[in-house]
Amino acid sequence: MKDAFGITTIGFDVAVIGAGPAGISCANSLADMGLEVVVLDEQPNPGGQIYKNIEHVSSACLNILGDDYSAGQPLIKKFRHRNPTYYPGASVWQVNSDGHIFYSKDGISKEEAAKFIVVATGAMERPVPFPGWTLPGVMSAGGANNLIKNGGLVPNGRVALAGSGPLLLLEAVHLIDMGVDIKAILETTPAIPNISSLIHLPQALGRMDLLKKGISMLQKIKKAGIPHYKGIRKLSVKGNDRVESVHALKGDDSINVDADMLFVHFGVVPNTSIYRQIGCEHEWNDIQRYWYPQSDKWGRTSLSNVFAAGDGQFVHGAVPAALKGELTALAIAADMKMIDKDERDKQAKSIENQLQNELKPRSFIDALYAPILNLLDVPKETLICRCECITMGQILDVIDEGCVDPNEVKALLRPGMGPCQGKMCGSIISEIISMRTGKKIKEVGSLNIRPPLKNIPLSEIAEIKFLA
């Protein structure tokens, strides 16, 4: 690498972390503008979760997954053609605000460096605890979807689905198309939409095509004759070593479903681990109840050389994620003087228009499927921290004793100290503290995130390959 004076410098212009729609489109645009890019991604192939395995998937699965999935093909094709430096199978475990990155690949940890960092680590399904959620046979709906994309696997037993949000219903439709025996769909979303969502309906009507898609999903579920309950509470699973039955309440009526598998989905939240670890400022979204990194329209975070792109910046979906990646690329290119600010703004205009058009239904959908957590309904013996087996009762006890900081709860009881490092239970602990004490989430705060973000042996850190 050479700088403007022809002096060799260490590292790349830009490091993009994550090879989903945002990371790929950002890297493609940066490469188009002549910048040296390195893309680090945990998976063996580009595509992120949404376009997982899109280069190798069978035509039968491609048919099932439809246009929203195959839309990723041109993006990945261009990425392969552009061919920026790409490290698949690389787990980033520390990012410093000075642009130094540490990652593990094939059991070896190395250092990389870049002037700018784009964190495009996407979103994850919101973990929501309920009795039996650790039993084999309970899986996230996104997990079941990934098994179709990356394993061609289809459930061969009796399936129930529970939770809320459009992705739950989309997964139901995929499973119907694959001939899966769905015994019930249990939605926490009430049958009558909340008033606050209807305020956003007129704007959503601007994208009738997307709304129609949603309506046809509901019609398909209805036509399949699957019992579909709304406004359910107190979800639980019973079974000895694996799922045997699923239970819930609708009003005072109990719902009991014999099933071998339960796929759950409670919406999608930004994966903020890296932003937190670098030290980016965060904001709280009170409708979808999640933290997201503070950023401007280019995705620039509170740290001027660190950008947030895609669903990790705010959950908008795959198509907007790719557009946001392009906006970030323009801002970095302007900072690097590859284009001037007028050119940046000119090119941004059409991207922003497309983004605005894509986001028309978003506020409506976000409000319609606002999470209903009812965490205080969760029985005391239910595991909250799956890794360290910490129960709801243990957590409530320390809260009642006056421990109202999630980091204190962690220090006392160890939730968040297992392999997942609080990725599963961290947000839940803050929610429980908030609900039990009446304090706002913003006051409660969240678990501190420290490196290493991934579990690596000490021997690997000892033998780390630093940049020369």
Partner 1 sequence: MFSSYETTKQTVTIILDGKPQRVPAGVSVAAAVLGTGKTHTRTSLISGEPRAPFCMMGVCYECLLEIDSRKDQQSCQVQVKEGMIINRQIRTNGEEK
- Among 34, 202, 379, 419, the residue binding partner 1 under the rule CB under 8 A is 419
Q: Are 109 and 461 in contact (CB under 8 A)?
A: yes
Q: Which residue matches tokens 């130094």?
A: 100
- DSSP secondary structure letter of residue 2: B
Residue appearing with tokens 């769905």: 182
Per CB under 8 A, 387 contacts partner 1: yes
Query: Contact between 198 and partner 1 (CB under 8 A)?
Result: no
Query: Quick check: 91 binds partner 1 (CB under 8 A)?
Result: yes
Which of these segments, 41-49, 208-216, 228-236, 373-381, binds partner 1 (CB under 8 A)?
41-49
Provide the residue type at 123 as one letter: A
**58 sits near partner 1 (criterion: CB under 8 A):** yes
**Which helix (DSSP H) or strand (DSSP E) does residue 119 occupy?**
strand 108-119
Let me know if 463 is exposed, middle or buried by CB neighbors in 10 A (0-12, 13-18, 19+): exposed
Q: Which stretch binds partner 1 (CB under 8 A): 119-127, 192-200, 343-351, 432-440?
A: 119-127
* 110 contacts partner 1 (rule: CB under 8 A): no
* CA distances, 416 to each of 275, 387, 413, 450 (Å): 18, 8, 9, 11
From the list 28, 53, 109, 347, which residue makes contact with partner 1 (rule: CB under 8 A)? 53
DSSP 57-85: --HHHHHHH-HHHHTTHHHHHHHHHH--E
Per-residue binding letters, 206-225, with partner 1 (x by CB under 8 A): --------------------
For the bound state, the minimum distance from the C-beta of residue 157 to partner 1, rounded and expressed in Å, comes to: 6
Examine residue 125 and tell whether it contacts partner 1 (CB under 8 A). Answer: yes
Of residues 134, 216, 350, 357, which one binds partner 1 by CB under 8 A? 134
Output the smallest distance, CB 421 to partner 1, in A: 9
47 near partner 1, judged by CB under 8 A: no
* 72 to 244, 280, 291, 330: CA distances (angstroms): 37, 29, 27, 21
Which is closer to partner 1, CB of 53 or CB of 295? 53
Residue 143: which H helix or E strand, with range? helix 141-151
Assign 7 to helix, strand or coil: coil
The first and second tokens of residue 224, run together, are 């399949």
Stretch that binds partner 1, among 71-79, 148-156, 353-361, 396-404 (CB under 8 A): 148-156
Find the binder of partner 1 among 23, 84, 418, 426 (CB under 8 A).
Answer: 418
Which part of the chain contacts partner 1 (CB under 8 A), choosing from 109-117, 140-148, 288-296, 304-312? 140-148
Using rule CB under 8 A, residue 40 touches partner 1: no
Q: For 241, what's the count of Cα atoms within 13 Å in the CB-facing half-sphere?
A: 0
Distance of CA 76 to the CA centre of its chain: 20
User: Among 132-140, 181-189, 289-297, 339-347, which window interacts with partner 1 (CB under 8 A)?
Assistant: 132-140
Residue pair 85/38 in contact (Cβ under 8 Å)? The answer is yes
CA atoms within 13 A on the CB side of 75: 28
Judged by beta carbon, residue 393 or residue 419, the one nearer partner 1 is: 419
Q: Which residues bind partner 1 (CB under 8 A)?
A: 42-44, 49, 53, 56, 58, 60-61, 64, 89, 91, 107, 124-125, 127, 134-140, 142-144, 146-148, 150-157, 178, 241-242, 260-261, 271, 386-389, 418-420, 423-424, 455
